[in-house]
Amino acid sequence: MSKNFLTVAFAACLFLLIVAAKWTTFDRYGSPMPDWDQWDAEGSELLIPWVEGDHFVSHLFHAHNEHYVIMTKLQNLTLGLLNGQWDSRLEASTNAMLHAAIATALWLFGRRRLTAWWHAALFALIFVLFGLPVAWQNVLGGFHSQQYWLLGLSLIAIVTLPFTRPASGAWWLGAAAALFALATMGSGLLAAAVVIGLVGWRCWQREVRLRDVWPTLVLAASIAALGWATRVDAPWHAHMKAKTISAFLLSTVHSLQWPWRDHDGLGAILWLPWVLTFGRVLRWPRGHRGEDARTSNFLRSGQIVAAIGGWVLVQIAATAYARGGDGGYPASRYMDTLAVGVAANALAVGWLLSVTGVVRAVRAAHVVVALAWLAAFGFGCRPLLGTAFEAELPDAKKYYNKAEGNMRRYLATNDAKHLAHPEIPYPSAESLMDRLARPSLRAFMPVPIRTPLPLETAATGVGGPPAFERNDARSADPAHPPRLGLSPAIQPLDYTPTWGSFGDATQGEWRSAPVTPTRRGGWLRFETAGQLGEPGIELELRDAASNDVIAQVRPSKVPGDAWRSAYVPQPAAPFVVVARDLDPTRWLAFSGPVEMGPLSYWAWQANKHAPLLFMITAAVTALLALATLRVRRPE
């Protein structure tokens, strides 16, 4: 195998491993339901203005707290329109690919420029930092793509603008990235500031001439000035700002020591590789434009690593000022930026180990630094991930389950009592109801809170009692719900009517009145119970005009005394639901169908099968590692 092939193959594996790990985490702990900030930034400021034609552009550029989250708005609007529904799982699944692309780019940078025996360690470190839920709020939050857009666009600007000829293709790419970084978060202007610092330093070192790079300096200064001039103050967040120097410094120290929550002094070890790299870059002799290409590329690699770490440091300072009021530990949503800081130090370790022409004592010192840094980071990850998996993620899942139930019942009944709970996806029940009063927003609701299409009985079996009884527990006493047509062992659905054949005289057929889909394409989800899929028990869709069978509705397993979802492609034309129970020893129950967007369905499938994707990719990665050892084995 060629080196280029292995590089591409490893990069693809890293990308898929990170994506699969994130999708698996979301599948186990996340929810498609919009949550908190999404109801403002996406609901009120995006979907409603788009659908209702209410000054959409003005709403698009409206600030969300201190940030212009335009990139996130555009991404999620595109997903919502393509899907026909507002789905946080779809958004988070897309975010996972964006974040994995950033991680893969960092690894490729290290593989191209650092010593070969550091590549495997860097691969593992990047996977831990980007694949595992070190910042679990961003993994579960579809709205949190602004974190990834900030990271990706800032890194592109830092890597391209200082080292490319003005007006070249790469330079314009960096210019666009620096400008669009302003449309991610309030700290987007810091990428341009780092570019100014790096270009200025290269001029001072006589690597480049001012007459050659002045367009870059003017561009970066203009972008930074634009970001500063358009900054937004959110008075309702004033209490979060650091009021004293001690609070600012304490918040900074807590970020520097990440992933540790205690042991403030460990920040010195965790950032030591970057400090050594930065110091060596600063001490590089001036006037070295004529050096050979290898030395020049090595210096450039060190400058990029120093710039990435410097960008993280100024982000830490900005966060400590804006959110360091109590000097506490950084919130989970900021930890992806801190993870890039760790990645910068990992790259710095590789850069130090790649240094040539140094005395043995210096090389030994670099090895000691590398081992100490690996130990500090590795031991710090264990409690961080332990807390996430043992407490934070399970608590998030409990919240989502309760909030979904409350939202589902409210959307089915419009009864405010269902939102009179602490577990709702917005701080204020009244404000949430105001938003849900807009039909344009309700039409975008996703599974699992979307209201099923209504079913009405068109015909029953010939003579005798009806084969399927309608059960409606929406307004019933939760402790004593009705169970018409249902087994005593099953919990009735409390958000939609169901039809069931459990009972004494239940054989026969039930047919619905024609159902007209509200959208084209996608899938229908039925909740089913009983022995659906066994002989004599059937649920199917038929064309309302021709009576031709369109689809058989069957879950992946026989449900029994539990509700199990069954999915079928949504018909384009009106259809009827037909249920049959031809066996006196078996029974069937089902709900009305819920429309599910096509991208929502495939995002759900991708998340569901993510563990399999992870295992296959891990096996391929192991085989590639063996192949690499074989390639490197001397003849």
Give mean pLDDT, residues 52-56. Answer: 92
Residues 566-618: pLDDT tens digits? 999 999 999 999 999 998 889 999 999 999 999 999 999 999 999 999 999 99
Separation between Cα atoms, residue 291 and residue 546, nearest integer Å? 80
Kindly tell me if the per-residue pLDDT of 1 is higher than 70: no
> Which burial class, exposed, middle or buried, applies to 514 when counting CB atoms under 10 A from its CB (0-12, 13-18, 19+)?
middle
Residue 379 and residue 441 in contact, taking contact as beta carbons nearer than 8 Å: no
Q: What is the band of 458 on the pLDDT scale with cuts at 50, 70, 90?
A: confident
Domain end residue (candidates: 232, 258, 287): 232
Poorest-confidence range of 41-45, 296-300, 344-348, 458-462?
458-462
Kindly tell me if the per-residue pLDDT of 560 is higher than 80: yes
Residue 278 and residue 306 in contact, taking contact as beta carbons nearer than 8 Å: yes
Q: What is the band of 508 on the pLDDT scale with cuts at 50, 70, 90?
A: confident
* 130 vs 477: which has the higher pLDDT: 130
Residue 342 within any structural domain of the chain: yes
Neighbours of 629 (CB within 10 A): 9
Q: 390 and 400 share a domain?
A: no
Poorest-confidence range of 117-126, 415-424, 497-506?
497-506
Residue 401 within any structural domain of the chain: yes
Neighbours of 384 (CB within 10 A): 18
Q: What is the CATH number of the domain that holds 553?
A: 2.60.120
Q: 350 and 225 share a domain?
A: no
Half-sphere exposure of residue 477: CA atoms within 13 angstroms, side-chain side = 2
> Which burial class, exposed, middle or buried, applies to 337 when counting CB atoms under 10 A from its CB (0-12, 13-18, 19+)?
buried
Residues 140-193: pLDDT tens digits? 999 999 999 999 999 999 999 999 999 999 999 999 999 999 999 999 999 999
Separation between Cα atoms, residue 216 and residue 211, nearest integer Å? 10
Q: 198 and 265 share a domain?
A: no
Q: 273 and 217 share a domain?
A: no
Nearest to residue 341, comparing CAs of 367, 385, 321, 311?
A: 311
Q: 179 and 273 share a domain?
A: no
The CA radius of gyration of the chain, in Å to the nearest whole number, is: 29
Q: 509 and 568 share a domain?
A: yes
Query: 348-373 burial, b for 16+ CB within 10 Å, e for fewer?
Result: bbbbbbbbeeeeeeeeeebeebbeeb
Q: 484 and 517 share a domain?
A: yes
Separation between Cα atoms, residue 23 and residue 27, nearest integer Å? 6
Q: How many domains does the chain have?
A: 5
Give mean pLDDT, residues 496-506. Answer: 84
pLDDT at 240: 86
Q: 157 and 123 share a domain?
A: no
Dihedral of the CA atoms 380, 116, 349, 157 (nearest 10)?
-100
User: Both tokens of residue 67?
Assistant: 């940030």
Q: How far apart are the first and last CA of the chain?
A: 15
Kindly tell me if the per-residue pLDDT of 424 is higher than 50: yes
pLDDT at 238: 85
Q: Is the peptide bond before 584 cis (omega within 30 degrees of 0)?
A: no
Residue 47 within any structural domain of the chain: no
Nearest to residue 272, comparing CAs of 255, 251, 250, 257?
A: 257
420 is in which domain, residue-wise? 396-442
Q: 128 and 140 share a domain?
A: no
pLDDT at 635: 40
Q: 553 and 531 share a domain?
A: yes
Q: 264 and 377 share a domain?
A: yes
Question: If you average pLDDT over every residue of the chain, what do you get?
Answer: 92
Separation between Cα atoms, residue 534 and residue 554, nearest integer Å? 10
